């Protein structure tokens, strides 16, 4: 069965890896890209999404969404991780395409209502657009097939603070809204993605499999590897976001646990995802849903082989 998806994204080197995987996969139909602030400001995010579509020869609606968190000040951006342009300082020319005029949240609402119970929302940036879409259409959650998101850390430390993963930390209040909604949510967090390490050998194979798209990921990821390899003997990086698309098409490869997940909005632990497996809570709010499906382990070698196979199509 072909999965209809909207990808909510903040490109981002690992976002590029994820988008190309989705474009290449015969099991995925991408209905559009909705962009949000995160790795870069939202204007750059939208421009990068347009440019990546053009490189991959994809004619898709791309929208620009939320530019700042639900509550609080504007975010700073991870230029030290993804480069000044968000794509590894690859100095891409301006895209030729034009944005869909709708706000990202409105696009999500429109498409879900046009295809009720058919669309999976794959969120690989801060969750601000999804939170706003829930406010625009109070019945939205009942019409979405599922939400798969990259973010959080249920059983491990964070990567932006000791407590929090970057996507959730960037807008903890929006994440709180998304996890509290009554829809099917799967969280692919650092519990899995921080353990999936990709070295130059993998990038070489990816480039061989697809000289255009894999070759571009190889170029962009050099900046990414510089960041991840500081103080290490081996150059490597993490392609966090693509794991969401792997889950979409191969959920049986993942070992998950259902439970209550709450997001901290306290200043010291902002963005922490606190997870209690279903049946282990002793009092409210831990003893009732909605519950989140949290992915905890996966066969990493099978995933890497899947990425190479899909890029080679």
Q: Are strands 254-263 and 119-123 parallel, antiparallel or unpaired?
A: unpaired
Q: Is the pLDDT of residue 75 over 80?
A: no
pLDDT in tens, 161-186: 999 999 999 999 999 999 999 999 99
C-alpha–C-alpha distance, residues 116 and 133, integer Å: 15
Residue 307 has what pLDDT?
98
Q: Is the pLDDT of residue 232 over 90?
A: no
Annotated catalytic residue: which of 14, 15, 85, 240? 240
10 flagged as catalytic? yes
- Whether the bond into 290 is cis, omega within 30 of 0: yes
pLDDT band at 230 (very low <50, low <70, confident <90, very high): confident
Cβ contacts of 94 within 8 Å, gap of 6 or more: 47, 51
Q: How far is CA 21 from CA 12, 181, 213, 237, 309, in A?
A: 14, 28, 9, 17, 10
pLDDT in tens, 249-298: 999 999 999 999 999 999 999 999 999 999 998 899 999 999 999 999 99
**DSSP 3-state percent helix, strand, coil across the chain (nearest 5):** 40, 20, 40
C-alpha–C-alpha distance, residues 214 and 289, integer Å: 41
Annotated catalytic residue: which of 10, 14, 191, 218? 10
Six-digit token string for 277: 């497996």
pLDDT band at 306 (very low <50, low <70, confident <90, very high): very high
Comparing CA positions, the residue from 131, 137, 136, 134 lying closest to residue 172 is: 131
* Size (the chain), residues: 313
CATH of domain 3-311: 3.90.245.10
């Amino acid at each position: 069965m072909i999965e209809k998806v909207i990808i909510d994204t903040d490109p981002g080197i690992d976002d590029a890896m994820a988008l190309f995987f989705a474009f290449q996969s015969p099991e995925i139909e991408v209905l559009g890209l909705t962009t949000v602030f995160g790795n870069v400001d939202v204007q750059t995010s939208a421009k990068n999404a347009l440019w990546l579509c053009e490189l991959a020869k994809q004619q898709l609606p791309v929208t620009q969404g939320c530019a700042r968190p639900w509550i609080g000040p504007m975010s700073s951006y991870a230029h030290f991780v993804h480069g000044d342009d968000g794509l590894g300082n690859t100095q891409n020319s301006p895209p030729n395409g034009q944005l869909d005029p709708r706000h990202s949240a409105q696009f999500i609402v429109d498409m879900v209502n046009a295809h009720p119970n058919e669309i999976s929302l794959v969120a690989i940036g801060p969750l601000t657009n999804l939170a706003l879409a829930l406010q625009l259409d109070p019945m939205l959650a009942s019409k979405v097939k599922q939400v798969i998101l990259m973010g959080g850390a249920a059983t491990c430390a964070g990567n932006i603070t000791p407590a929090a993963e970057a996507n959730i930390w960037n807008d903890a209040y929006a994440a709180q809204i998304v996890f509290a909604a009554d829809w099917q949510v799967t969280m692919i967090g650092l519990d899995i993605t921080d353990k999936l390490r990709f070295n130059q050998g993998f990038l070489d194979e990816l480039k061989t499999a697809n000289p255009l798209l894999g070759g571009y990921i190889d170029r962009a990821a050099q900046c990414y590897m510089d960041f991840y390899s500081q103080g290490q003997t081996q150059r490597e990086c993490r392609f966090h976001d693509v794991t969401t698309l792997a889950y979409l098409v191969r959920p049986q490869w993942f070992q998950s646990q259902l439970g209550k997940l709450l997001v901290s909005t306290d200043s010291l632990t902002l963005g922490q995802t606190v997870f209690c497996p279903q049946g282990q809570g002793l009092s409210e709010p831990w003893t009732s849903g909605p519950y989140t499906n949290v992915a905890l382990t996966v066969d990493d070698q099978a995933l890497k082989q899947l990425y190479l196979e899909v890029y080679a199509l």
